[in-house]
Structure 1
Amino acid sequence: MIIPVRRFAATCALSALGVALAACGAPGTPQAARPGQPASASAAPSRPPTLAPGPAGLTPVFTNGPRTPDKTVALTFDADMTADEGPRAADGEHFDNPRLIATLRAFKVPATVFMTGRWADEYPEEAKDIGQDPLFEIANHSYSHYAFTDNCYGLPTVPEDRMRADVEQAYTAFKKAGVRNAMPYFRFPGGCYDQKALRTLSSVGVTAVQWDVVSGDAFATDADAVARQVLQGVKPGSVVVMHCTRSAAPTTEEALRTIVPELRKQGYRFVKVSELIGTAAHPDH
């Protein structure tokens, strides 16, 4: 999900919709099924937490966790690669960022990686390595990284009758790479969605995950500016969107070296998205 800072304002209205729908995950409501599982299996304690469907059964949207005194924050990283970018990778462009993953490990920071299926196809060993590390969780960012709405930052558009297949194809790519426990969370490419997309994906059993803090790391050249933007935006329960692609977000790893120690100094605890969703769905637990 590559969004330059100057364009992020266009997604604010969408985030507002996400906040409204996220409220539907109230205590006592049934959880949606994990992709590939029957609805009755979702109540099992071993299943990752998800939000209940929104109005009229729409895919629920999660933007941030509760604003409680427990100062938690989830760092999320989009591992982007669009379906038609294979020739660029063949010419030497790097859509991965092993150094960033190594830094998260060195700092012992849990994180959620929203991965495209095309990225997993290109970097299967890295996908498997991330997926097998309990410090991380892998979630779905579509297979193609094509948009699920029109007019989404110039991305090609997935036809409505291909939306579900695109999400499921990503899960298939993860399994092929050796990722066995991909999470039932989905991030729309570009962060762009509408009622049609939410309705179309309702049968997949995913919770759509947005964010409330944009890092501004996409195409950024100033790591200090990225760090400042994150530190100024984080609140308890925040979801920060960053990127795990060297070519499109070259300063992210450097920015982390400022962000992580400073947030810990402020009393924040880093968590995966699954923990925030679990707290939002069951705030009394």
Structure 2
Amino acid sequence: MINSVRRTVSTCVLAALALGAAACSGGGTGPAHPARADRPAQSPSAAPSPAGAPTLAPGPGGLTRVFKNAARSKERVVALTFDADMTADQGPRAAAGEHFDHPQLISTLRRLKVPATVFMTGRWADQYPAEARDIGADPLFEVANHSYSHYAFTDDCYGLPTVPPARMRTDVERAFTAFRRAGVEHVVPYFRFPGGCYDKQALRALAPAGVTAVQWDVVSGDAFATDADAVSRQVLDGVRPGSVVVLHCTRSAAPTTERVVRTVVPELRAKGYRFVRVSQLIGATRKG
């Protein structure tokens, strides 16, 4: 019953986030140095594939593969992922003072020495180029693609505007271009669907981009949450060896996340967990 309630609450919170502040964490169905702005332009779909960043081979029918978590093994590893969300049309809100970034969270991850994967929208990188560049320059982190616009890749995805199928790949590649323009390093060829919503049509459309789609198996519930303890409990109760946890790097939409990190990191370490980036989980999956 408790788990059922948590799933319901998480879905409602994620829907609110998608509608109100363009966060990306719904339940879906379903190399380190890329080219900088001062380097010759190259194909966006080829640019983000760094040496040593593993991807999953296409699935049946050539569809983009989806990674949710690593195999459950005796090795207690977990990947914390943070969605840096901003939609293409939220510039006026940022200009009016709304903060879609979260420097304190990044500082806390550094202080605690927690590797993490940041799924960044291209619009976020355009709005905060210095912060995007700073995150990408730190080898503790890796930057992955969360689309440019943060518009949905399926219909009926928490009220988000929809990207037409013919423009899905373009939207993803536009985000990689925004990363290069900002001088972001440590970009990996992973993609997270806005709202977590995808179908076969979306997976087929993204196949030429050469990315691996990354979802999660632990919803933190940090979107618009005001009770950091409740979010922390949900993460701690959900984590298993090989888990991918979805959180957010957006002050206005996820104000408790930094406090949650300060709670869950030491507790998970006390349980024997080691924090890794998504690329390390995918690499381990390919070897297995």
Band of TM-score, shorter chain: 0.7 to 0.9
Structure 2 equivalent of residue 85 of structure 1: 90
Among candidates 85, 103, 107, match of residue 108 of structure 2? 103
Structure 1 equivalent of residue 243 of structure 2: 238
Residues 1:80 and 1:259: Cα distance change in structure 2 (over 3 Å): same
Among candidates 100, 105, 112, match of residue 117 of structure 2? 112
Matches of residues 194-205 of structure 1 in structure 2 within 5 Å? 194-205=199-210
Structure 2 equivalent of residue 144 of structure 1: 149
Aligned: 1:219 with 2:229: no
Residues 1:214 and 1:162: Cα distance change in structure 2 (over 3 Å): same
TM-superposed CA distance for 1:35, in Å, is 3.0
Distance 1:227 1:272 in 2: 20
Distance 2:247 2:159 in 1: 20
TM-superposed CA distance for 1:13, in Å, is 6.6
Structure 2 equivalent of residue 36 of structure 1: 46
Query: For 1:172-214, what per-residue CA distance to the aligned partner results, in whole angstroms no more than 9, with x for missing partners?
Result: 0000111133110000000000000000000000000000000
Determine helix, strand or coil for the equivalent of 2:188: coil
Among candidates 129, 136, 139, match of residue 134 of structure 1? 139
The AA in structure 1 aligned to 2:251 is: R
Distance 1:192 1:237 in 2: 22
Which runs of no fewer than 5 residues in structure 1 stay unpaired?
18-33
Aligned: 1:72 with 2:82: no
Determine helix, strand or coil for the equivalent of 1:183: strand
TM-superposed CA distance for 1:12, in Å, is 5.2
Among candidates 48, 51, 55, match of residue 53 of structure 2? 48
The AA in structure 1 aligned to 2:92 is: P
| TM-score scaled by length of structure 1 | 0.87
TM-superposed CA distance for 1:266, in Å, is 0.3
Moved over 4 A (4+): 8-13
Query: For 1:228-250, what per-residue CA distance to the aligned partner results, in whole angstroms no more than 9, with x for missing partners?
Result: 00000000000000000000000
TM-superposed CA distance for 1:37, in Å, is 5.9
The AA in structure 1 aligned to 2:144 is: A
Residues 1:49 and 1:123: Cα distance change in structure 2 (over 3 Å): same
TM-superposed CA distance for 1:47, in Å, is 3.5
Structure 2 equivalent of residue 187 of structure 1: 192
Distance 2:158 2:223 in 1: 13
The AA in structure 2 aligned to 1:238 is: S
Q: Is the 8 A contact 2:27 2:196 kept in 1?
A: no
Q: How many residues align?
A: 259
Distance 1:225 1:205 in 2: 38
CA RMSD of aligned residues (A): 2.1
Residues 1:37 and 1:179: Cα distance change in structure 2 (over 3 Å): closer
Query: For 1:12-68, what per-residue CA distance to the aligned partner results, in whole angstroms no more than 9, with x for missing partners?
Result: 572xx4xxxxxxxxxxxxxxxx93169xxx8x9x33101010111000000001111
Q: Is the 8 A contact 2:28 2:197 kept in 1?
A: no
Residues 1:113 and 1:13: Cα distance change in structure 2 (over 3 Å): closer
The AA in structure 2 aligned to 1:138 is: V
| TM-score scaled by length of structure 2 | 0.86
TM-superposed CA distance for 1:5, in Å, is 1.4
Aligned: 1:266 with 2:271: yes
Distance 2:116 2:26 in 1: 23
Residues 1:194 and 1:264: Cα distance change in structure 2 (over 3 Å): same
Which runs of no fewer than 5 residues in structure 2 stay unpaired?
1-7, 16-24, 31-43
Q: Is the 8 A contact 1:216 1:226 kept in 2?
A: yes
Determine helix, strand or coil for the equivalent of 1:201: helix
Q: Identity over aligned residues, as a percent?
A: 70
Q: Is the 8 A contact 2:11 2:27 kept in 1?
A: no
Structure 2 equivalent of residue 282 of structure 1: 287
Residues 1:145 and 1:261: Cα distance change in structure 2 (over 3 Å): same
Determine helix, strand or coil for the equivalent of 2:172: helix
